[in-house]
Amino acid sequence: MELSEFSRAAGPISPEAFERLARFVDALLRENTIHNLTALRRRDDVWKRHVVESLQLAEPLRERPTAQVVDLGTGGGVPGLPLAISMPAVRFTLVDSVRKKCAAVERIVAAVGIANARVVCGRGEVLGGQPEHHGRYDALVARAVAPLTRLLGYAAGFVEAGGRLLLAKSPDVRDELAAAAGTARRLGLRWIETRAMHNPLGGEWSLVIYAKSAT
């Protein structure tokens, strides 16, 4: 993918950041030949689905002061690493429960040289209750992790009061939202909005946003 094409799809980005995103794509595809980090095998698909859609989360993150973000269920480093590359002033913590995936993402971080990202291996429902992580983050991002009711249970502990959960879901998320309403109330989460997101390179998805009202 060329810088001009990418900028039309994802917004303006510096040549330096674009070069690091290209290195991320290369590193992810290289690791994916060893470990099953993503079902996507074609370079263009990784750019389209993993990079462009990850960076569509940058604008919502910038809508309020954000210094610490946790990416829950990061898998191959998505959406956390593309976001870390595009937002160098923000610290990203990438969480996954599968040790081989954590090790692969650590290698990607080292290969690309992403200084504002770290990897933590463990289960979200456990880590979110530990002092190092409980209520320590301004925002949480998650993409293709679990049904919403279960995901909220994993995610709520990480975010400080007033913080945001930005959850990438399928285009029609109405049934999941209804099913998760009671869980959200119990966890001190307030639904803010659901945004219909359009990928300029093709594809639709929903961004579900919650605010944490209590720790």
92-121 residue pLDDT tens: 999 999 999 999 999 999 999 999 999 999
Return d(Cα 138, Cα 208) in angstroms, integer.
16
Predicted local distance difference test score (pLDDT) of residue 125: 93
Is 193 strand, coil or helix?
strand
* Strand ranges in the chain using DSSP code E only, listed in sequence order: 68-72, 91-96, 117-121, 137-143, 159-169, 189-198, 204-212
Burial of 57 (0-12, 13-18, 19+ CB in 10 A): buried
**pLDDT 10s digits, 121-167:** 999 999 999 999 999 999 999 997 889 999 999 999 999 999 999 99
pTM of the model: 0.93
Residue 215 pLDDT more than 60?
no
CB 96 within 8 A of CB 117: no
Work out the average pLDDT over 164-174: 95
CATH 3.30.70.890 fits 3-212, yes or no: no
**pLDDT 10s digits, 35-94:** 877 776 787 888 888 899 999 999 999 999 899 999 999 999 999 999 999 999 999 999
Distances (CA, A) of 151 to 52, 89, 187: 23, 27, 12
